[in-house]
Amino acid sequence: MFALAPLLASLAVAVAAPAGTDLRITVWPNGPDETARHTWRLRCGPPGGTLPGARTACRRLGAIDRPFAPVPKDVACAEIYGGPQVARVTGGFEGRSVWARFRRNDGCQIARWNRMRFLFPVRTGTR
């Protein structure tokens, strides 16, 4: 019985440990119809990849509740144009598949972009 305790404890830790994060981030600073784009990779657990400031990005990403959730369809958004920039994030976040698109075509989308801007280190004229 006591011999099983360490085995059961290690299984509990393995189940409770969060799955890794491995994201591919692509930003089109002049809009999706342009050929200029920047692509990075972000891995967390341990932090790495090509995204500048990966350790900080992983920490910030982990602190946001549902970071890749879209803007709800029933929300009224200010009709403000923030620019042509588009970003796409694909891969896995804490064991879940991610395919998220970020734009700056209304107030809600601008706010969503700004919340995640640490993943988009291309200057977009919004600083």
pLDDT of residue 33: 81
Mean pLDDT of 98-119: 96
The mean predicted confidence, pLDDT, of the chain is: 84
Assess if residue 13 is contained within a domain: no
State the pTM of this model. 0.79
Q: Which domain holds residue 90?
A: 24-70+78-119
Q: What DSSP string describes the chain?
A: -TTHHHHHHHHHHHHHSPPPEEEEEEEETT-TTSS--EEEEEEETTTEESSTTHHHHHHHHHTSSSTTPPPPTT---------S-EEEEEEEETTEEEEEEEE-SSHHHHHHHHHHGGG--S--S--
State both tokens at 80.
């403000």
Task: Look at 64 and 17; give whichever has higher pLDDT.
Answer: 64
Task: Look at 123 and 73; give whichever has higher pLDDT.
Answer: 73
Q: Could you give the number of structural domains in the chain?
A: 1
Say yes or no to pLDDT of 95 above 70.
Answer: yes
CATH code of residue 107: 3.30.350
Q: How is the beta sheet containing 86-93 ordered, strand by strand?
A: 48-49, 38-44, 21-28, 86-93, 96-103
Assess if residue 12 is contained within a domain: no
Assess if residue 16 is contained within a domain: no
pLDDT of residue 19: 54
Assess if residue 19 is contained within a domain: no
14-18, 42-46, 109-113, 123-127: the lowest-pLDDT one? 14-18
The predicted-structure confidence for 37-89, as pLDDT tens digits, reads as follows 999 999 998 899 999 999 999 999 999 999 999 999 999 999 999 999 999 99
Q: What residues form DSSP beta bridges with 90?
A: 24, 99
pLDDT of residue 39: 96
Assess if residue 56 is contained within a domain: yes
